[in-house]
Structure 1
Amino acid sequence: MSILQSLNAARRNVLSIIPDIATKQPMVSGRTGKRWHMVMDPDAIRRVLLDRLDDYPKSLVTKNLLRPAIGESLFVAEGAHWRWQRRAAAPVFSHRNVTNLAPIMTAAAERACARVAQSGPRAVNMADEMVRATFDVIGDVTFSGSGGFDRDAVHRAIDSYIAAAGRVSLFDILGLPDWVPRPARLVSGRYLAEMKRFADASIEARRSEGHAGVPDLLDLLLQGEDPETKRRMSTGELRDNLLTFIVAGHETTALTLSWALYLAAFDQQAQDKARAEAQSVLGSRAANADDLAELYYTRMIVEEALRLYPPAGMVSRTALKPDTLGGREVRPGDTVILPIYALHRSHLHWDDPDAFHPDRFADRKAIRRYSYLPFGDGPRICIGASFALQEAVIILSTLLARFRFTPVPGRDPDPVMILTLRPEGGVWLQAEAV
C-alpha cells in the first residue's frame, strides 16, 4: 500500500493492514514511508520484548497516540523513568491486594445480572453491559468513597478521547514530532482536561483527608515508593498512572468479556460446560476470589477469547540499533510490529487457529511461550494482568450460571481495531434465565 492507502486503512481498521500471509509466515517485511517488519516468530519476539528490550522502545506512533491522555506513565515511559515507576507500582497489583479488591468485582457482577434480567426476553447489547460492569469496577477500586466521582463524565471523556484521538494521523506515519498538532487530538483536549482536573482533585483530597476501609488503587499508589530510591510519585505522575489504569483497566476487560460471551453464544456445548461448572461452584451466589481455582473451564474460555480477539491486537516498536530478527536485517529507525492478532491465529503455532477451542488451554505448559501474548511479556508485561483475569472470570462465571446466551441472527459484530480490538455494532445476544 502507499502511505495514503495505509493511513486510510489504519484509520478505518488497523487489522486491515495485516496481510493474510502473516498468519502463515514467521516474518513479513515491507516499506510504507519507512521500513517495517511484522514479527510472528516467538524467538524473535522474545528478543524484542526481553533480550534487547531497551533497543526496541515503543514506537513514536504509539507514544503520540497515548501521551496526551496518560503522559509519561508506565505504559509510555522508557528506560530508567519506566523502571522506577514499575518498581513503585508493582506492590499495588500483588496477589493479596488484587484478591482484596474481588468483592467489588462480585458486586459489579451482581448488578450486571440484575440489568440483564430486567431487560427481559429482548436482545441485549452485552458489549455495552460489559463496559458498564467493568467501569463500575475500575471506578470503585480507583476512587472508592469519592462522592464527587462522576462515572458518566469520566467514561464520556475516555470514549471521546479514543474516538477523536485514537486514529493514526498522516503526521504519525511520516514520523513528525509530537509537538506538531494533530487536528483530531485537539478536538479531544477539553475532555482530557476535565478528566485530569477530576483526578488531580481526587488525589489531593485523598492526601489531605485519607480513606477508611480496604485500600483502593489510589491509596496503594499514594503509599507506593521505589524500593531502591525511596522516590514517590508526584501528583502528575499519580494522575497519569491512575488514568492509565482507568483507560486500560476497564475497556480491555470489557472487550474480553464481550468477545467471550459472543463465542460462548455460538458454541452452546462450551457454554453448557461452563454453566455446569459455575452452578456447581457458585450455586445461586455470585463468584468471588475464593472460587477462581475451581472455575478452570471459565478461565479457559476467557483465555481462548483473548487468543482470538486480543484487546491489544497489535503493538509496535522502533529499532534503535542494528539487529537481526528471524535471519532478517533490522536497521536503526525500522518499525518492528508485533501483530498479536496474527500471532494468535498463526498456522505455525496453533492447530485449527481460527476455531474456538477453549480446551487448548487445558495444559498451559503445552503452549509455546511468546506465541500467546494477550498481556505482552517480558519486563513490560501488563502489570494488571492478574487483576483483569480475576475480574473477567468472576463476571463471566456469574453471568453464565444464571443465563443462557444465544446469538441474534444478522447481528454479528465486526472486529475493528483502532486503539483496541472492538466488536463494531455491539454484541447482541438473547439472554434467557436458567
Structure 2
Amino acid sequence: MTAHSLPVHVPLVTQPLGLWGSLTAARRNILSIIPEIATRQPMVSGKTGKRWHMVMDPDALKQVLLEKLDDYPKSDVTKNLLRPAIGESLFVAEGAHWRWQRRAAAPAFSHRNVSNLAPIMSKAAENACRRITNAGPHAIDIHDEMVRATFEVISDVTFSGDDGFDRDATHRAIDNYIDQTARISLLDMLGAPDWVPRPDRIFAGRAVKQMKAVADRAIQTRKTRPQSGIPDLLDLLLSGQDPETKRTMNTAELRDNLLTFIVAGHETTALTLAWALYLCAFDQTIQSQARAEAQAALGSLSPATADDLPALPLIRRIVDESLRLYPPAALLSRTAQRADTLGGREIRSGDTVILPIYALHRNHLLWDSPDTFAPDRFMDRKTIRRFSYLPFGDGPRICIGASFALQEAVIILASLLARFRFTPVPCRTPSPVMILTLRPKGGVWLRADPV
C-alpha cells in the first residue's frame, strides 16, 4: 500500500532532537517529538532536560491509569497550562478533591440525562445542515462548521434560556485562551516553578477573566431564577451532591467545572466530527455505506435523534475509528511520585511518564495496518485489548463526558451524511497538528453536495 492511499498522519522523528530541537518542534506540533519507534515498541525512554518514558504497553498503561492512579498525577506542565482558566476543577484536581467533585458531577452525565439532552444535539445538526445548504455547493471549512455546531450544543446544554449569555464573546475568549496559552514553553520543559512568569500566559489573562465573568453571571442568575422543563447541565451541577460527604459545589467550583465542560465539550467533539468527515471524503465507499445506513434510519430529511442511535452502528464505528486515528487528546503526561517499574523499566520519582495516545493508536504491536482507515476493526469490540484504545482515557479518570460526546458525534455525523456527499478539495489536505488538542492545520476543506 502506498503512502498516497493512507489518510494524513504526523511525520514522526527518526533521529534524537536534543533539548533545543525538542522545544522548537514541540512549539510547532507536540506530536512531532514522538519517535517513530514508539509505533513499534511497548516503551521508549530518554532524557530531555529530565528523564521521560513513553508508554504504549497496555499493561503498563493499566498500572498508570487504574492500579496506581495516585502515584501518577497529571504533570505540572498540564496543570500549569490549564489551572489559570479552570482552577482546581475535575480535569486538574487530584486525590480527595478530585474524588468528591467526580461523585457530585457523575449524575449529570447519567445515561438518562445525556439522552434527555439529545434534542439539543439534533437541533444543532439541523442548523448545521441548513448553513451548509445555504452556502451552496462550494468548498467549506467543515472544521469551522463543526466548531460552530458543537459550541451551539454546549452553550445550549449549559446556559439554556439565559438571554444575557453572549455566545460569540465566550467562544472568542475560549479560542483566544487556547491559542495563547497552549504552547509549551522552554520554562515548562526545564521544570521551572510556577512563579516564574510565562510570557504566553500573561497575554491570556483578559480572555480568562472574560470567560469566568460570563460563567459567574450565569450561575448567579440561575440560582435566583431556576428554570422549568428538562434540567440542563448547569441545573444538574447546581443540584449535584457528593453522596458520601453531602458536599456541594460553591460558585467558584461550579464555574471552573462549567468552563471545563464548555472548553473540552465542544472543542474535542468538533475535532472528532471534522476528522470523521475528512475520512469519509477520503474513502467514498465507506461514505456511501454510511449514507445508506443514515438514510435508512432517518427516513425523511429530519436530523438524527437519540432513538436512531441503535440503527447507526457503522456511523458509530466511523466515529470510533476517527478517534483512533486522530484522538483529540493525542498526548498526555504524568509525573511519577515514587519509584516504580513499568513494563520492566525503572521509573524514578519525578520522572515524566508520557502517554502518547497518537502512537498507542498506531502501534504495530496492537493494531493491524494501523495507519489505514478501517472502521470495521470496531465491529467486535471484544477483540480490542483494553488500554490499547484510549480516546477518553480509562480507569477512574476516564472522561466524564464520553457518552455525551459520542452521542453528539453520531447524531451530527448521521444527519450530515444523510443529506450531503462530501468530497476533498484538491491541494487543501489538512495537517494534523497538536498544540493542546489535535487540530487540522489549515482547516478541513470539503465540497458538500446535496444528495
Secondary structure of 1:352's counterpart equals coil
Aligned match of 1:219: 235
Match of 2:13 in 1: none
Does the residue aligned with 2:244 lie in a helix, a strand or coil? coil
Per-residue CA distance 1:310-330 (angstroms, 9 max, x = gap): 000000000001100110000
Match for residue 363 of structure 1 among 364, 380, 398: 380
2: CA distance, partners of 1:186 / 1:219: 33
Residue of structure 2 equivalent to 1:285 = 302
**1:392 and 2:420 are equivalent in the alignment:** no
Task: State the one-letter code of the partner of 1:431.
Answer: A
Range that drifts further, 337-346 or 208-217: 208-217
Match of 2:335 in 1: 318
Q: Given the two structures, how large is their TM-score scaled by the length of structure 1?
A: 0.99
Matching of residue 31 in structure 1 with residue 50 in structure 2: no
The secondary structure found in structure 2 opposite 1:416 is strand
Match of 1:172 among 183, 188, 198: 188
CA deviation after TM superposition for structure 1 residue 123, in Å? 0.3
Number of the residue aligned with 1:246: 262
The residue aligned with 2:207 is 191
**1:94 maps to what in 2?**
110
Give the aligned partner of residue 136 of structure 2. 120
Deviations 1:16-64 (A, max 9, x none): 0001000000000000010000000000000000000000000000000
The AA in structure 2 aligned to 1:433 is P
**C-alpha distance in structure 2 between counterparts of 1:198 and 1:81, whole Å:** 25
- Amino acid in the other structure paired with 1:62: T
Between the aligned partners of 1:121 and 1:218, the Cα distance in structure 2 is 39
How far 1:2 moved relative to its partner? 2.6
Query: 1:261 offset after TM fit, Å?
Result: 0.1
Q: Distance in 1 between matches of 2:228 and 2:159?
A: 12
> 2 CA distance for matches of 1:201 and 1:122?
40
Question: What is the SS of the residue equivalent to 1:401?
Answer: helix
Structure 1 residue aligned with 2:420? 403
Match of 2:84 among 63, 68, 71: 68
Amino acid at match of 1:60: D
Counterpart CA distance in 2 for 1:177 and 1:296 is 48
TM-score by length of 2: 0.96
Name the CA distance, whole Å, in 2 between partners of 1:427 and 1:27: 33
Distance 1:68 1:172 in 2: 15
Partner of 2:272: 256
Question: Cα deviations across residues 182-225 of structure 1 (Å, max 9, x unaligned)?
Answer: 11111010011011011111101101111122100100000000
Deviation by residue 1:267-310 (Cα, 9 ceiling, x = unmatched)? 01100110000000001211000111110000000000000000
1:52 to 61, 65, 68: 68
- Name the SS of the counterpart of 1:405 in structure 2: strand
Which residue identity is paired with 2:266?
H
Q: Give distance in 1, aligned partners of 2:440 and 2:73.
A: 29
- Name the count of aligned residue pairs: 434
* Residue of structure 2 in register with 1:12 after alignment: 28
Structure 1 residue identity aligned to 2:146: M
Take 1:84 and 1:181, find their aligned partners in 2: how far apart are those partners? 32
Tell me which of 408, 421, 430 is aligned to 1:413.
Answer: 430
Instruction: Choose which of 311, 315, 318 in structure 2 pairs with 1:294.
Output: 311
Alpha-carbon shift at residue 179 of structure 1 (Å): 2.4
Shift of 1:3: 2.2
Letter in 1 for 2:79: K
Cα root mean square deviation, aligned: 0.6
Which residue, 119, 123, 130 being the options, matches 1:107?
Answer: 123
Find the residue that maps to 1:127 and give its secondary structure: helix
2:405, 2:441 → 1: CA distance? 22
Q: Distance in 1 between matches of 2:192 and 2:47?
A: 17
By how many angstroms is 1:180 displaced?
2.0
Distance of 2:225 and 2:166 partners within structure 1: 19
Deviation at 1:171, TM superposition (A): 1.3
CA–CA distance in 2 between the matches of 1:423 and 1:144?
30
